[in-house]
Amino acid sequence: MMLKIRKLSETLGKRVYTDAGDLFGVLEEVNLLNNKIDGWRIVVSRESGMLPLLGGARGIIVPHRFIKAMGDIVLINKNAIPSPPEDEELDLNGDM
């Protein structure tokens, strides 16, 4: 297996999807700590339907450990995404 090295600037602007295949957003910025990648700031796409979960925030910072793959797109672990409160989940499922 050959390791492919990328410049950080090449990753910015990439579309971000969850490991379930759902569009989440776009990589906007990288956060470094002690010269290592600590996290990624992701601007959430309107199409993702995630904006209401963020309470008015434009995006989130995802710790690097939740990045599963980077290439033409970025895959993140769905556990990195805030989930709706339990009462909203019940309402969405019609299980009130």
The tens digit of pLDDT for each residue in 22-37 reads: 888 999 999 999 999 9
Q: Given a cut of 80, is residue 95 above it in pLDDT?
A: no
> How far is 68 from 74, CA to CA, in rounded Å?
8
- Counting other chains too, the contacts that 91-95 makes at CB distance below 8 Å and 24 or more residues apart are none
Nearest to 80 by CA among 14, 21, 26, 24: 24
Q: Where are the domains of the chain?
A: 8-93
What is the homologous superfamily of the domain 8-93 according to CATH? PRC-barrel domain (2.30.30.240)
Is the predicted pLDDT of residue 40 greater than 90, yes or no? yes
Radius of gyration of the chain (CA): 15
Looking at every residue in the chain, the average pLDDT score rounds to: 81
List strand residue ranges (DSSP E) for 1-96, in order.
15-18, 23-33, 36-44, 59-63, 67-70, 74-76
Is residue 29 within 8 Å of 59, Cβ to Cβ? no
